[in-house]
């Protein structure tokens, strides 16, 4: 079983399973696991997140992000559990420069974004007691992320080209997790945006990483057009967090503070 540190610190009994133990695309396995656990709430973090690869594997991406989510939501309905569903800034088109509000029109640009939006729609169709939480540019101790990639590249490069015309907010899992726990303990259901505070480009993000890690790496800002990728990315990933204020939830710390704490954590592992 996976460790759930944030919930354990709050003395909240919780169960989780790894992908090997619990395939969310297997309806029978999902039903068996959840009915056995009889939870009051489910925080659904599992997802297919390889954005470029999803363009080549659209069926698998949808099976995980849409069908898997439907499997979980259906059992949540049957056992009367709340559901927290992690979604993404990629449900939006990225047009303009204004931060997106939760109820703004959605228009994903790629397979991954469309599959996550389909997951959202499934949750809304099947459940009344749900929290849909859109986040962006996530990094944490586990798994791959932009910060780890930059630190790895810094070992062999003194100069890096990084996109400077996609704007959004980094999100540290250690800051996001307590908010998800807070939400699950309430009945303030709905769609929320949750990221660390402030906005930046990927190039500005990279510069902050190298500054905090005390690495002498030059970052050359480049346009998206100079770094072609299989999946289109939104230029504007700014998410408004006014929804958190309205519901009485505390906003996350600044993204710069989050990066500094994360780098320090990595250095002490």
Q: Could you list the active site residues?
A: 112
SS3 readout for 4-52: CHHHHHCCCCCCCCCCCCCCCCCHHHHHHHHHHHCCCEEEECCCCCCHH
- As to burial, measured by CB atoms within 10 angstroms (0-12 exposed, 13-18 middle, 19+ buried), residue 132 is buried
Write the DSSP string, 191-220: EEE---BS-EEHHHHHHHHHHHTT---EEE
Helix (H, G, I), strand (E, B) or coil at 131: strand
- Spatial neighbors of 9 by CB under 8 A, at least 6 apart, are none
The residue to which tokens 């169709």 are assigned: 125
Strand partners, 87: 134
Cα angle 66, 21, 120 (rounded to 5 degrees) comes to 20
CB atoms inside a 10 Å sphere around CB 55: 16
Q: State the DSSP code for 224.
A: G
Reference 114, options 69, 74, 66; nearest CA is 66
């Amino acid at each position: 079983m996976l460790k759930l540190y944030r919930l354990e610190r709050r003395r909240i009994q919780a169960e989780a399973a790894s992908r090997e133990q619990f395939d969310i695309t297997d309806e029978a396995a999902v039903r068996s696991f959840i009915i056995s656990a009889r939870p009051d709430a489910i925080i659904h973090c599992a997802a297919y997140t390889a954005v470029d690869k999803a363009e080549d594997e659209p069926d698998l991406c949808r099976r995980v992000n849409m069908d898997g989510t439907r499997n979980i939501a259906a059992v949540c309905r049957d056992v009367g559990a709340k559901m927290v569903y992690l979604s993404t800034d990629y449900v939006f088109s990225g047009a303009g420069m204004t931060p997106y509000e939760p109820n703004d029109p959605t228009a994903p640009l790629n397979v991954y974004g469309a599959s996550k939006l389909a997951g959202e729609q499934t949750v809304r169709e099947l459940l009344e007691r749900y929290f849909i939480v859109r986040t962006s540019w996530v990094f944490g101790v586990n798994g791959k992320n932009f910060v780890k990639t930059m630190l790895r590249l810094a070992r062999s490069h003194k100069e890096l080209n990084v996109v400077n015309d996609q704007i959004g907010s980094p999100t540290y899992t250690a800051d996001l997790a307590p908010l998800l726990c807070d939400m699950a303990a309430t009945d303030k259901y709905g769609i929320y945006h949750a990221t660390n505070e402030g906005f930046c480009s990927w190039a500005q993000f990279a510069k902050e990483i190298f500054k905090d890690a005390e690495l002498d790496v030059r970052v050359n800002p480049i346009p998206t057009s100079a770094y072609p990728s299989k999946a289109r990315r939104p230029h504007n990933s700014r998410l408004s967090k006014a929804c958190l204020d309205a519901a009485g939830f505390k906003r996350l710390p600044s993204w710069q503070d989050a990066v500094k704490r994360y780098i320090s954590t990595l250095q002490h592992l």
